[in-house]
Amino acid sequence: MSHKQGLENYPDALRWSFGDSPELADELLQLVREGHKTATCSSYHAFKNEETPQVGDYNIILDGAGQPSCVIRTRSLTLVRYCDVTAEMAAKEGEGDKSLAFWREGHQRYFEREGSFAPDMLLVFEEFELVEVF
C-alpha cells in the first residue's frame, strides 16, 4: 500500500505532531515508532479551542517537517492534575529514563514554555496504540 493510500484509510483523523519544536516532534515520534511511548498528555486548557480527543480516535502523527509518519489510536483518556501523575503514567510516556522525576522536570519546562504551568494544573492523559507506520 502506498503512503497516500495509507492516509486515505483515516479520512477523519486529526493530524498533529508531538512537542513544540521540530526536534522534539522527531524525538517523541521515534519513541512511538520504537514502542517506548504509549501515552502523552496535554494541558486541559489547550483543548479550549480545539477538538477534545475521544477513545477510539485515530490520529496521524506528523514528524518535525510536518510529514505524516504514523497512525495512533486513542485507547484511554484520564483527567489528572500534574501533581498527581504517577510513576506508571510517566513511564508510559517513554521519555528519558522513564522516571517520574524525569517526566516532571521535562513537562514542567514544556508547560512553562506554553505559559500554563501550575503544580495543580489539569492534564488530559491519553494512552494510545500504534496502528500503522508510513
CB neighbours of 55 closer than 8 A, spacing ≥ 6?
74, 75, 76, 77
**In this predicted structure, what is the pLDDT of residue 7?**
80
Distance of CA 101 to the CA centre of its chain: 19
Question: Which whole number is the average pLDDT over 101-126?
Answer: 96
CB 93 within 8 A of CB 40: yes
| Amino acid occupying residue 77 | L
* Three-state SS at 33: helix
- Measure the CA–CA gap between 5 and 87, rounded to whole angstroms: 39
What is the C-alpha separation between 121 and 44, in angstroms, rounded? Answer: 8
Chosen CATH of 3-133 out of 3.30.465.10, 3.20.20.80, 3.10.400.10, 3.40.30.10: 3.10.400.10
CB 45 within 8 A of CB 116: yes
Q: What pLDDT, on a 0 to 100 scale, did the predictor assign at position 53?
A: 87
Report the share of the chain in percent with pLDDT over 70.
Answer: 96
Strand pairing class (122-133; 68-81): antiparallel
pLDDT recorded at residue 46: 83
Higher pLDDT, 104 or 114: 104
| Residue 62: all three cell numbers together | 506528523
pLDDT in tens, 59-68: 999 999 999 9
Question: Tell me, what's the pLDDT at 4?
Answer: 65
Report the mean per-residue pLDDT for the chain: 93
Residue 52 DSSP one-character state: P
pTM reported for the whole predicted model: 0.90
Domain boundaries, the chain: 3-133
For 92, the 3-state DSSP assignment is helix
Q: What is the pLDDT of residue 8?
A: 87
- Tell me the C-alpha distance between 61 and 67, whole Å: 8
